[in-house]
Amino acid sequence: MKRSVISLVLMVFLLFFAACGGADNAAGEGGKDNGSSEVGHDTGDTSDSGYYENSDSENYDPGYDEEYDNTDTGAPYEPGDPTNSADPTDYEDWESPDDGAWDTEDPQEQPEPGDLVENEWVETSKESTSTFSIDVDTASYAQVRNYIMNYHQMPPKNIVRIEEMVNYFDYDYPQPEEGKPFSVTMEMADSPWNKDTKLVMFGLQGRMIDVNERVSNNLVFLIDVSGSMSSTNKLPLLKKSFKKLVEKLEEEDKISIVTYASGVKVVLDSVSGDNKDEINAAIDSLVASGATSGGDGLQKAYAIAEKNYSSDANNRIILATDGDFNVGMTSTSELVAYIETERNKGIFLTILGFGMGNYQDDKMEQLSNAGNGNYYYVDGEREAEKIFTFDLMGTMFVIAKDVKLQVVFNSAKIAKYRLVGYENRVMNNQDFNDDTKDAGEIGAGHRVTAFYEVVLTEKPAETESDTEEGGDSGESEGGEQPDAEPEVEFGADDFLLLKMRYKEPEEDISKYMDTFMTSADVKSEMSQNMGFASAVAEFGMLLRDSKFKADASYDAVLERAAANIGEDKFGYRGEFTEIVDIAKSLAH
């Protein structure tokens, strides 16, 4: 009896103690001390990738940017920024060095997007078909370069998208035949990082357009002018970048400018490209201040583009931002759904990313994909020159949309395969013939390169010399129906069949092309195109610490890249070897 009473007393005491502790915890979790006169923002560990998911957090204060905005300078308070003190209003006496060395952000605050899961090996006997959408984005490579060259840090693995790194560079592919939107180049050679595998390269070259084919532009510059854009590598660089595009405009082009911060403002509405002084003055007037109502900005930009829509023009929104949406429509899923609805009206979306810190790479990539556009990252004036003088002008003139590639491997020749990169572009095989499924676009003069690593079932008896031409293209076009493609019948010399679907820019029914890879495409030595492109792919595998990297090494990348630099008119390939050299030292 005495033991029962003692046990009962102990149990009551423990329950009372637990209740008190729970009350304390509940108060702590409330995030607010009722006895305090100050309300602070959470400054916890920013290394957690969830820290920057402002748009998806119920506890995120959308007034954060605005609350810490300095009304005198327009410069936002950012923790860790040496131009600011603990008190966001108490830094007016601080003088920055003339070289602007402090006007950068710590790249370690870069949010890591959802993990990219590498494509696995697939046994051909179990599944012989692989399907993916093409991708001509280049943002990943520019971000990798920014980390390594400007910050001397290895980039986060999840911003390393191998296909975007490979497609950053030009390759010497032939122009397509008359009436075709693109040519196809195929090549197979020994894998440079794995002695037991072969590497297959596909190269697509979009046709160049004659100056007389150029259509007019209906462009809306949608510009983020929130407080977080004040750094020199953001809004000031953005202004210089857009002026390069203005130089290319002609009288028949129409330009609108929409800005967003705490609110949305229409700065210009359908001004002729001939009025360059007016457009540049509007760009010069932009000042960074306030929160980031990007969703409202997008809606206004689409409304302006639709109001000024021309069926004979290239109708496009060019969004320039550091990627942070924290007011209004903010979640990626909401934004993607909205953009997918708007793209069906014939208005494309191109995205230009600026800056570091809270930059949301994964969100920007998804939005550009949804908008039938392209995604670039601007890490300096040289990149701005490349994008606005060459790349962007090509992608704005789409020659083929919803381009899908489907590879059917001959199991008698190839035992297994894996797609290198394109993790975010893999499609279900049944989607190849479904014209309602969105895919990538090819602009005038643009190239697309893709790699498969394969294991042969048996080594071919002999290979053709590198100077001999490949096998017959076997190109064919289907009728008006998207499923009008022939049954696959492999010949004794066929390794695989590359099937392609694409739509003309103004059409909704896809056309079909195909071409076989034969022993004539198997090379004893890589071409210059394949040699350099494979070096870039190998570098990407090293940066990602790929489980498939096998014997890959920085020395091998440097040697092969240097041997295949070629003409290198603008020096981008030479710069690549500098980046690899720095990365090698950082890795060791």
From the list 369, 356, 72, the residue with the least C-alpha distance to 233 is 356
Percent of the chain clearing pLDDT 70 (strictly above): 75
DSSP run (H or E) holding 14: helix 2-29
DSSP states of 286-328? ----S---HHHHHHHHHHHHHHT--TTEEEEEEEEE-S---SS
Question: In terms of DSSP H, where are the helices of 500-564?
Answer: 528-543, 554-563
Q: What is the mean pLDDT of residues 337-352?
A: 90
Q: In this structure, are residues 415 and 457 in contact, taking their beta carbons and an 8 Å threshold?
A: yes
Over the stretch 245-266, which tens digit does the pLDDT of each residue have? 999 899 999 999 999 998 999 9
Over the stretch 558-579, which tens digit does the pLDDT of each residue have? 999 999 999 999 999 999 999 9
How many CB atoms neighbour CB 1 within 10 A? 5
pLDDT for residue 119 is more than 60: yes
pLDDT for residue 37 is more than 60: no
Q: In this structure, are residues 178 and 168 in contact, taking their beta carbons and an 8 Å threshold?
A: no
Distance, CA of 507 to CA of 339 (rounded, Å): 20
How many CB atoms neighbour CB 23 within 10 A? 10
pLDDT for residue 111 is more than 60: no
**Chain centroid, CA 284 distance in Å:** 28
From the list 371, 295, 282, the residue with the least C-alpha distance to 334 is 295
CA distances from 426 to 186, 190, 271, 344, 406 (A): 20, 25, 40, 22, 10
**What does the pLDDT read at residue 19?**
45
Q: What is the mean pLDDT of residues 320-335?
A: 79
**What does the pLDDT read at residue 62?**
36
Burial class (CB in 10 A: 0-12, 13-18, 19+), 276: middle
Query: Which position has the higher pLDDT, 333 or 141?
Result: 141
At 445, list the tokens. 């003069």
Distance, CA of 554 to CA of 498 (rounded, Å): 32
Query: CA-based Rg of the chain, rounded to a whole angstrom?
Result: 27
Q: What are phi and psi of 303, to 5 degrees?
A: -65, -45
From the list 443, 441, 421, 442, the residue with the least C-alpha distance to 544 is 421
Q: What are phi and psi of 579, to 5 degrees?
A: -65, -45
Distance, CA of 56 to CA of 367 (rounded, Å): 16
From the list 350, 357, 353, the residue with the least C-alpha distance to 379 is 353
Distance, CA of 22 to CA of 500 (rounded, Å): 62
CA distances from 320 to 260, 317, 350, 522 (A): 11, 10, 9, 43
CA distances from 309 to 135, 250, 301 (A): 26, 17, 12
Q: What are phi and psi of 335, to 5 degrees?
A: -65, -45
> pTM of this prediction?
0.78
Find the range with the poorest average confidence among 307-321, 324-338, 464-478.
Answer: 464-478
From the list 244, 273, 367, 256, the residue with the least C-alpha distance to 316 is 256
CA distances from 91 to 75, 84, 86, 211, 297 (A): 11, 6, 9, 53, 31
pLDDT, the chain, mean: 81
Distance, CA of 237 to CA of 226 (rounded, Å): 15
436 residue type, one letter: T
> If you classify domain 215-393 with CATH, what class do you get?
alpha beta
Half-sphere exposure (CA, 13 Å, Cβ side) for 323? 29
Q: In this structure, are residues 353 and 375 in contact, taking their beta carbons and an 8 Å threshold?
A: yes
Q: What is the mean pLDDT of residues 438-445?
A: 92
**What does the pLDDT read at residue 328?**
64
pLDDT for residue 537 is more than 60: yes
Q: What is the mean pLDDT of residues 10-23?
A: 46
**What does the pLDDT read at residue 482?**
64
How many CB atoms neighbour CB 200 within 10 A? 28
Over the stretch 283-324, which tens digit does the pLDDT of each residue have? 999 999 988 888 899 999 999 999 999 988 889 999 999 877
| Cross-strand pairs, 531 | none
Confidence of residue 102 (pLDDT cuts 50, 70, 90): very low
**CATH number of the domain located at residue range(s) 122-210+399-587 in this protein:** 2.60.40.1230
pLDDT for residue 481 is more than 70: no
122 residue type, one letter: V
Number of alpha helices (DSSP H) and beta strands (DSSP E) in the chain: 14, 17
Q: Where are the domains of the chain?
A: 122-210+399-587, 215-393
474: left (phi over 0), alpha (psi -120 to 50) or beta: left
DSSP states of 229-275? G-STTTHHHHHHHHHHHHTT--TT-EEEEEEESSSEEEEEEEEETT-
Over the stretch 428-439, which tens digit does the pLDDT of each residue have? 999 999 999 999
**What does the pLDDT read at residue 214?**
77
**3-class DSSP assignment, residue 570:** coil
367 residue type, one letter: L
